[in-house]
């Protein structure tokens, strides 16, 4: 499957009137560069089929979209690999960039008759953040499910290809490196809830073209954690665990850029009222009652997605 930013580019999409033509087949010259590159990667991996959202879901049929959206986590979970056009801002950006591959090779030199080899490419967590987390695809709300429900993902970035799976991360230069590893297959309830908090914070900082998609674009994550924890999911809350939005006097330090409109909403609600994360358009930090004991000056609001 392919994860990509739609962006402002104009490209071919499946609509009802074109369904017969799509069934007959499309030529590669009708597809944007990211699609063509992803097909090349699938062929290289000897994978016969590739799933691309805009080509398999009727974009002008709300019933078809609703049905496909309700079972998208099955597509992600059962895929061989998720191909990420991570560094491209739209579908015309492609997966492959001009680069200097020799910079990824170990540097060899001779010192007093002894050969040394050093791979000097930075493999720190800062490099992962710069090359992967800060790229255009990572700001797309839908990619949260696509990224963390698939068994493995390849990020095609400007300098090299990065890999992440449920066990570890890596890149061409370094098979093992620091990065964000989130596994929903823990077997322990407390770990599943901890991952839920991380993913809500990450997801709430992403962008969606249509705000109405905010709940459905995260529903696959909720279903998976529900299966993992055997808990009951109640519109963003868990029956056995209570989470809250952590807000306080120092708005800028807790939620970067938390707008005055949101502050006004919370003032009107007052204590004891539920706040929906889907009504907020800035990053959200989910705390617990333990947070309240540690920071009594902060207001805690029970929340749902």
- Split at pLDDT 50, 70, 90, the class of 189 is low
Could you give the 3-state DSSP secondary structure of residue 235?
coil
Which of 122, 157, 181 is where one domain is finished?
181
Average pLDDT, the chain: 75
Spatial separation of the C-alpha atoms in residues 16 and 141, rounded to whole Å: 26
Q: Which two tokens stand for residue 121?
A: 């490419």
Domain count, the chain: 2
Are 6 and 148 members of one domain? yes
pLDDT of residue 8: 85
Please give the pLDDT value at position 2. Answer: 95
Highest mean pLDDT out of 25-29, 170-174, 179-183, 248-252: 25-29
The answer on 241 and 126 residing in a single domain is no
Give the residue from 147, 181, 215 where a domain finishes.
Answer: 181
Choice among 136-150, 194-208, 242-256, 279-293 with the minimum mean pLDDT:
242-256
The DSSP-derived string for 28-53 is: GGGS-HHHHHHHHHHHHTT------H
Pairing relation of β-strands 233-234 and 244-247? unpaired
Kindly report the CA angle at 292 between 190 and 215, in degrees rounded to 5? 55
Q: Give the pLDDT of residue 39.
A: 96
Same domain, yes or no: 67 and 143: yes
Identify whether residues 97 and 124 lie together within a single domain: yes
Q: What is the mean predicted confidence (pLDDT) over 219-236?
A: 80
pTM of the model: 0.76
| 174/226 same-domain check | no
Residues 71 and 130 in one domain: yes
Q: Which stretches of the chain are assigned E, i.e. beta strand?
A: 2-3, 82-84, 107-111, 114-118, 152-156, 161-165, 169-171, 233-234, 237-238, 244-247, 275-276, 286-287, 299-304
90 and 227 both lie in a single domain:
no
Enclosing domain of residue 21: 1-181
Whether the per-residue pLDDT at 124 is higher than 90: the answer is: no
Pair 71, 209 in one domain: no
pLDDT attached to residue 88: 95
Among 150, 181, 212, give the residue marking a domain's end.
181
Q: Does 262 or 159 have the greater pLDDT score? A: 159
């Amino acid at each position: 499957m392919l994860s990509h930013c739609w962006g402002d580019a104009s490209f071919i999409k499946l609509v009802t009137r074109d369904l017969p033509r799509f069934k007959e087949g499309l030529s590669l010259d009708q597809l944007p560069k990211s699609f063509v590159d992803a097909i090349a990667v699938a062929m290289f991996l000897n994978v016969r089929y590739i799933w691309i959202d805009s080509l398999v879901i009727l974009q002008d049929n709300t019933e078809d979209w609703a049905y496909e959206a309700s079972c998208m986590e099955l597509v992600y979970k059962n895929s061989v690999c998720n191909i990420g056009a991570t560094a491209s801002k739209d579908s015309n950006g492609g997966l492959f960039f001009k680069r200097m591959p020799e910079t990824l090779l170990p540097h060899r030199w001779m010192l007093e008759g002894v050969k040394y080899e050093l791979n000097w490419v930075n493999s720190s967590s800062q490099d992962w953040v710069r090359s992967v987390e800060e790229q255009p695809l990572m700001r797309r709300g839908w990619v949260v499910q696509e990224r963390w429900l698939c068994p493995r993902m390849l990020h095609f970035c400007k300098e090299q290809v990065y890999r992440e799976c449920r066990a570890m991360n890596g890149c061409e230069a370094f098979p093992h490196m620091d990065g964000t590893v989130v596994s929903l297959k823990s077997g322990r309830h407390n770990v599943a809830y901890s991952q839920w908090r991380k993913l809500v914070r990450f997801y709430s900082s992403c962008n969606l073209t249509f705000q109405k998609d905010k709940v459905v674009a995260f529903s696959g994550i909720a279903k998976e954690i529900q299966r993992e924890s055997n808990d009951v999911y109640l519109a963003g809350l868990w029956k056995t665990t209570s989470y809250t939005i952590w807000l306080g006097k120092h708005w800028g330090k807790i939620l970067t850029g938390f707008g005055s409109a949101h502050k006004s909403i919370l003032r009107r609600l007052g204590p004891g009222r539920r706040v929906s994360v889907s009504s907020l358009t800035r990053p959200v930090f989910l705390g617990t009652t333990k947070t309240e004991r540690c920071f009594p000056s902060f207001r805690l609001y029970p929340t749902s997605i």
